[in-house]
């Protein structure tokens, strides 16, 4: 995974959060890196989140984001309404975005999370015009 630090750092975004929140965010980061090792990680201090994309552009390339809160960490998807959620994990009522609330690092092992991330990667690759390798992210 390549990290773009021009807008912030992973550690700065987690600063001030409890150890449980930091552990959950780190576990999510590792999951994303395992699923899509060539993703672009962009910590965005101004937004309080870390985005993961098939490229560096936030709203075009991002397939997922991690956003820590006081008692949970959101794994979010800007185009969440466009991906399949067979386990009913996604929350939210916005026009396109959806998220999953994780309260501990143990929650990251949910098989449904991997499927959501893979579906979101595929959706972004197709939306951005990538016409090869549609069936599986690298």
Cα–Cα distances in angstroms (integers) from residue 113 to residues 18, 29, 76, in the given order: 23, 12, 11
Q: What's the whole-model pTM score?
A: 0.90
Q: 50-105 pLDDT, tens per residue?
A: 999 998 778 788 999 999 999 999 999 999 999 999 999 999 999 999 999 999 99
Q: Is 18 left (phi over 0), alpha (psi -120 to 50) or beta?
A: beta
Q: 33-44 pLDDT, tens per residue?
A: 999 999 999 999
Residues in the chain: 138
* Interatomic CA distance for residues 48 and 111, integer angstroms: 26
**76 alpha-carbon distance from chain centroid:** 5
Complete domains list, the chain, with CATH: 2-127 (3.90.1150)
């Amino acid at each position: 995974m390549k990290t773009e630090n021009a807008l912030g750092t992973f550690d700065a975004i987690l600063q001030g959060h409890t150890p449980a929140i930091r552990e959950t965010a780190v576990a999510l980061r590792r999951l994303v890196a395992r699923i899509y090792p060539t993703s672009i990680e962009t910590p965005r201090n101004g937004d309080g989140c870390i985005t993961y994309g098939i490229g560096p552009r936030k709203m075009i390339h991002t397939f997922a984001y991690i956003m820590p809160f006081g008692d949970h960490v959101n794994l979010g998807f800007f185009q969440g309404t466009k991906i399949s959620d067979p386990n009913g994990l996604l929350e939210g009522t916005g026009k396109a975005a959806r998220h999953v609330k994780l309260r501990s690092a143990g929650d990251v092992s949910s098989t449904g999370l991997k499927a959501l991330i893979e579906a979101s990667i595929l959706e972004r690759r197709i939306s951005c015009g990538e016409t090869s390798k549609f069936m599986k992210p690298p």
